[in-house]
Chain A
Amino acid sequence: MTEVPVIHGMGSAVKRKEDVRFIQGRDTYVDDISLPGMVYLDFVRSPYAHARIRSISTERAKGAPGVVAVITGKDLQPLGLDWIPTLSGDKMMVLPTEKVVFQMQEVVGVVAESRYAAADAVKLVEVDYEPLPVVTDPKKALEEGSPIVREDKRTNHVFHWEAGDREATDRLFEQADVVVGQDMYYQRIHVSYMEPCGCVAYYDSVKGTPTIWMTTQAPHVVRTVASLITKIPENKIRIISPDIGGGFGGKVYVYPGSIVAAVASIVTGRPVKWVNDRSDDHPSTAFARDFHMRAELAAKRDGTLLAFRVKAVSDHGAFFGDANPSKFPFGLFSICTGSYDLKAAFVEVDGAYTNKPQGGIAYRCSFRVTEAVYAIERLVDIMAHRLGIDPAELRLKNFIPPEKFPYRSVMGWVYDSGNYAGALRKAMEKIGYEELRREQEEKRKRGELMGIGISSFTEIVGAGPSHTFDILGIKMFGSAEIRIHPTGKVIARFGTRSQGQGHETTYAQIIAEELGIPIEDITVEEGDTDTAPYGLGTYASRSTPTAGAAAAVASRKIREKAKKIAAHLLEAREEDVVWERGRFYVKGAPAKYKTIQEVAFAAYTNHPPGMEAGLEAVHYYDPPNMTFPFGSYICVVDIDRGTGEAKVRRFVAVDDCGNIINPLIVDGQIHGGLTMGFGTAFMEEIGYDQDGNIYGANFMDYTIPTAVETPKWETDKTVTPSPHHPLGAKGVGESATVGSPAAFVNAVVDALWPLGVTHIDMPLYPWKIRRLLEEKGYALDK
């Protein structure tokens, strides 16, 4: 009899299977793909944020050495591809025919035999622009008389969206003892993935089949939309998302480069490669956040929180392209009551068009949850300071208590599980909260500035239940297809797409857990629409909650059939057969068993009479609810009264994502997310001047943190399983990005509160802090 091998199932901190090829450089990104006869696409981009195009002359470029095609918006018009629909029911320009609407917008595509020839020829295209008045401030964009960004619209107003109960909220605000309010701006940032966007498009004119290798987080959605727009049958279109160097929401979008490359391939009959370089990608692809809000919180004098309201303007750039579920024009912002048991809440958001690239990326965030968490966590801190109650104590007093789960929030969400006080208490203990507060008190007496900031966030991830969540009508299920080969090895395919999250390991561990097959024997594939089951892709921390659940359920279906085969092999009745990880045995006789591998072999060689051969299953998982991961973060900062620099001394993160599949991967996600949150809080911002010129268009101007300035992250966990997920797991990829910015800002404001500082907008540049210190007469000149 064979021994049951080590399988690395649930909870194993096994190293990631895919890292071997990543570390050795044997991975395949879009730019690694090279096809015979391939040509290269480069773009003429607009120097203006808003300008009418008087004329475009392409003659010199067409005559340049190596140039095989030049494509303008007029060339796309007859194909109906000069504009394409966005995921939010708007449309976006592919190449302009009338005017440009943001700086660095693609204007003309030039295709040549080499990248160099294409870049040289780009400079030979002559575009005559008539500059137009520019609007970059969304609030000004909504005012009467503002320049109108879109020729096809009469206004810059994109949508008005409300959630919650306005009257009940206003009533509580009137009755409240204390009301605090704060204007805040969550700045525009870029996801800064390592791999810029690109594609290789090849149209086989004999078969009539376009194949596109592209940097996309959702290949099936791209295929369906492409088919609907072009009328090319969906079975003829193949979208392949190869290895992806980070997505963070930025690669849910389809950019003009892919459309123009596909058209160029049809025109030239050759494969066309388009890959943005960083200086093209950063200023022209979609952005995150850019959200102006007024948030208010009402409480009783004793610190009982009553109601929360937000009035906000969000900047969507020139096109409303947010990849939101259809019923949520402003995503899941209504999770903004957070971890607190409030009596009422109301939010209203107006979206605006401006002369910037499209915004609205859910940057490592489940559709605007980051903005929501920031709003409530900042306001709870402000309220604590106003009331003179310790921010930890105020939170503990108002948390939704564990016994109230499942908890229906006043916004209508049903939180699946939580133990918020447990996470906060653990974080406080780990960091030595009481001692830090004493130290802070002493330092204040000596004139030293030290701050402690807390963020106790609740996320909402795993979109989602089909009754509520769809994108363009397609329900947001998760899919898995698992096949066991005769030798007991496995191929498993999914409708999601890892961009570095470690799916090849995580999914293998789930199958290993359910079927007792070692992860080495399980191959996980994603990203090819010809082979993977239909799925909505990976973003918003949805892969484990949806496709991970599908993997578990499909595995269980396989186990059901395997049990029947085992009964046949063991010559026992099915109800007498017992499953123990990796093998079946007859009740009471565990020494006599059949391994899953033996059963797999029998499925093809010796299956019971009347049973279909084979051992495989497909499952489309419709989650009954979202999952609600949470955590408490505590940050300690010291502020230099001379330079205004805020140095993070310590940062403790206690996360709860339910049952953990791979602790190493979860920890990696937390570390990465915290570092991104740190960058957001302290150094990242895409700015524009009044003429729409972008600041921060490359990594020289736009700073992201390196290992040198990144604080040491002290991570820990609590485990509160999701009651409805088959594995008790929740999504975790985004918790740290979502939760951490408020902790950093709360810490800095906590240090400065005694000086009368209530808020500082991110990024917390030293010059902003220094300016406040000067205003309060607290700056040092040495």
Chain B
Amino acid sequence: MFVIPDRFSYTVAHSVEEAVELLHTLEDSKVLAGGQSLIPFMKLGYASPKSLVDINRIPNLDYLDDSGESLKIGALTRISRLCDSELVAKDYPLIHDAALQIADPLVRNLGTFGGNVCHADMGDDLPAVCLAMNAEMVASGPSGQRVLAAKDFFVDRFTTLLASDELLTEVRIPKNRRGCGGAYLKLERRVGDYAIVGVAAQLEVDGDGVCRSVGIGLTSASTKPIKASEAESWLVGKSLSDEVLDKASTLAMNTSNPLSDIRGPAEYKKAMVKVLTHRALKLAYKRARGGL
């Protein structure tokens, strides 16, 4: 009854321009990148797009480049590449933590950074990472390229700011500096599952341990990926004592609005936002100090 999706057309795009053109002209189209969320959705009947535009053959969309002012991640970069990258492991532990906890090795081999972000499920891990790192999303559409801030990008569950004929091509992450550190903590029922709750924390501290900047992104803490902005504001300019972290994690918890579901009741998930925020900040701080 399931397993077999409804009928759909399938077209391969060989360039970003061609992909955009196809998305623009084809009826009810979806981008096929790694397919690790889209294909199960189609099999389960949650999604029945009439046409798929396969972007896997587009050259030069799979890269990690930190030669400029930011870490540029190509939209087709496979999650496994993030797991295996020494650069990511050393300078971007938040991304590394999260990548290693996404689903299972098979999914990570095919799943892409861009796909995980654009799927924009509340339970996907990389949106929270992008929110915590204040990433920029680079998109191409019929009228050219535009750059969107992560904090504006995630509109609702499964909905981003991208128009239906726009393609995400790159994600830009602020470049690692001295005093930066991050961590992603994910509570899950079992390895490979979606998060019960996940917390992404990215910190920059000065030589005295005072917080210069901070980003906190939350997974499965609302109907969409969210940013714990009040907690972020509270932390800037403060030394990260246990009391300060307590207050910050309470603020993060108050920002959250999780759903009760098979992964646990809402009140539990709220409490876990608090627990994990505290722990993630603590670990991020340790890593930030370790880099000084």
Interface centre among A642, A695, A698 (most CB of B within 10 A): A642
Residues of A contacting B40 in the complex (Cβ-Cβ under 8 angstroms):
700
Distance from A763 Cβ to chain B, minimum over Cβ atoms (Å) = 9
With an 8 Å Cβ cutoff, the count of chain B residues facing the other chain is: 32
A696 close to B (CB within 8 Å):
yes
Q: Are B193 and A703 in contact (CB under 8 A)?
A: yes
The 3 A-B pairs at the shortest CB distance, nearest first, are namely A767-B268, A119-B4, A708-B191
A244 close to B (CB within 8 Å):
no
Residues of A contacting B265 in the complex (Cβ-Cβ under 8 angstroms):
767
Q: Which of A158-166, A733-741, A774-782 contacts B (4 or more CB under 8 A)?
A: A774-782
Residue of A with least CB distance to B268? A767
B44 close to A (CB within 8 Å):
yes
Contacts A279-B44, A767-B265, A782-B279: A705 and B1 contacting too (C-beta < 8 A)? no
Q: Are A643 and B275 in contact (CB under 8 A)?
A: yes
CA distance A115 to B2 in the complex (A): 11
Interface centre among B249, B272, B279 (most CB of A within 10 A): B272
Interface residues, chain B, with chain A CB atoms under 8 Å away: 1-4, 6-7, 40, 44, 187, 189-193, 196, 242, 245-246, 249-250, 262, 264-265, 268, 271-272, 274-276, 278-279, 282
CA distance A643 to B2 in the complex (A): 36
Contacts A642-B279, A696-B262: A770 and B268 contacting too (C-beta < 8 A)? yes
Known pairs A277-B2, A280-B2, A643-B272; list 15 more (Cβ under 8 Å).
Answer: A42-B1, A116-B4, A119-B3, A119-B4, A120-B6, A122-B1, A642-B279, A643-B275, A644-B268, A706-B190, A766-B264, A771-B268, A781-B250, A782-B274, A782-B278
Residues of B contacting A18 in the complex (Cβ-Cβ under 8 angstroms):
none
Residues of A contacting B1 in the complex (Cβ-Cβ under 8 angstroms):
42-45, 119, 122, 277, 279-280
Distance from A327 Cβ to chain B, minimum over Cβ atoms (Å) = 39
Residues of A contacting B274 in the complex (Cβ-Cβ under 8 angstroms):
781-782
Contact partner of B189 (CB less than 8 A), chosen from A123, A277, A703, is A703
CA distance A709 to B246 in the complex (A): 30
CA distance A119 to B43 in the complex (A): 11
Contacts A781-B275, A782-B278: A766 and B187 contacting too (C-beta < 8 A)? yes
Size class of A's contact patch? 35 or more
CA distance A728 to B192 in the complex (A): 44
Contact partner of A767 (CB less than 8 A), chosen from B4, B193, B264, B276, is B264
Q: Are A765 and B264 in contact (CB under 8 A)?
A: yes
A570 close to B (CB within 8 Å):
no
A560 close to B (CB within 8 Å):
no
Residues of B contacting A642 in the complex (Cβ-Cβ under 8 angstroms):
275, 279
Residue of A with least CB distance to B279? A782
A390 close to B (CB within 8 Å):
no
Q: Are A705 and B190 in contact (CB under 8 A)?
A: yes
Residues of A contacting B272 in the complex (Cβ-Cβ under 8 angstroms):
643
CA distance A122 to B193 in the complex (A): 31
Residues of B contacting A708 in the complex (Cβ-Cβ under 8 angstroms):
190-192
Interface centre among B4, B264, B278 (most CB of A within 10 A): B4
A127 close to B (CB within 8 Å):
no
CA distance A534 to B10 in the complex (A): 53
A580 close to B (CB within 8 Å):
no
A701 close to B (CB within 8 Å):
yes
Q: Are B264 and A781 in contact (CB under 8 A)?
A: no
CA distance A280 to B187 in the complex (A): 29
Distance from B277 Cβ to chain A, minimum over Cβ atoms (Å) = 9
CA distance A5 to B268 in the complex (A): 64
**28 A-B pairs with C-beta separation under 8 A:** A42-B1, A116-B4, A119-B1, A120-B7, A277-B2, A277-B3, A279-B1, A279-B44, A642-B275, A643-B187, A643-B276, A683-B189, A701-B262, A706-B190, A708-B190, A708-B192, A766-B187, A766-B196, A767-B265, A770-B268, A774-B271, A780-B275, A781-B250, A781-B271, A782-B242, A782-B249, A782-B274, A782-B275
